[in-house]
Structure 1
Amino acid sequence: MSKSPLNLYHEKQRKKLCALHTLNNLLQSDAFKQADLDEICLRLSPGSRFLNPHRALLGLGNYDVNVIMSALQDKGLEAIWFDQRKDPNCLNMNHIFGFILNIDNFQKNQTLLSILNIGNLFASKKHWIAFRKIGDQYYNLDSKLDTPEAVGQETEMIQLLRDKLSSGDCQVLLVVDKKVAEDLSCYRNAE
């Protein structure tokens, strides 16, 4: 973990733990440990200690969306899949706690293992990233960055989401509190 010049909480990438870092960076605290996410995996699939479908082999991380959604629920938050066919301008940004993006992390210089589809055991093709408004700015809290990067204000964040979604290799989760998840006030037409 490091503190950025703006004093933002920022965990850097270790192993296949981007989901863990994304949750903690989004929550701006050391809210979860790897053991917490492993426990959620066991809750989701009891009896699957070593070959759990919600994480990588041997418990090395690479947690799936079900673990992220359960972890957020443990903190009183919900994750809503954003329909990528919609324009992000339909979002009521004041009702959104933050964003989690799952992006394609596949390198163009494929190794032989990746070409043979053996590399999936060792390297994930997907990466989790958190974005959140802190103060009057949205920040990219990606664990692969040295420090968080300012995105800008609402207009710039909406454009970033639009660009990521149009690339075709990105999924977006809206992180909201439970009431917003129930009334869907994270969308402008829901008010």
Structure 2
Amino acid sequence: MTRGGRLKTREQPERRCIATGESAPREGLIRFVLGPDGQVAPDLAERLPGRGAWVTARRDALEKAVRRGLFSRAFKTRAAAAPDLPERVEALLAARLTELIALCRKAGLAVTGFEKVKARLKKGPVAALIEARDGSEQGRAKLRPLAGKAPIVDCLSSRELGLAFGREFVIHAALDEGGLAQSVLRESLRLSGFRTCDDAQDMTTPAQGGKKDG
């Protein structure tokens, strides 16, 4: 997520990352728990019982925690963290964000399609401008100036956004304030720590000759 990525939240309790040693508001970290089988599991909703270990929502931080066995130190017992844990967390975060956007759409808080998004931005402030990370820069350049200071969510692909809106591809969307808007922003912030713009370059996208959202 770019520009204005800090969330509008009340004072939050801080948690210490087991990889970086730094304390930060929990909105930017991911909680992990130890299952009965001794396996480390992500607790994205932060509802699972038991002692939790927190890791900054960045791929390099989680890779370090896995590589150096930091979960065993945090849980004070043997804790098995699978080598592909960062990839699993990324997939879970993407699915969680997609579902949240879908819920916003069902609640009438999200619109998609270049012209509809353009019209919505001209009406006034939005909670976020959503862009497919594999969309064309030309379309982004036309909409971003209209978004003002709104955060830009750009960590999902056009196919992932399509799932949220019941379409094959979605390139542009706008999210209204209210409902789950803050949850969308938090999850996009966490997912951004696991994805870079370079990841999108190998995708087959509407910008490379596929379909466009209407």
Q: Would the TM-score normalized by the shorter structure come out above 0.5? A: no
Q: Which has the higher strand share?
A: 1
Q: Which has the higher helix share?
A: 2
TM, length-normalised to structure 1:
0.29
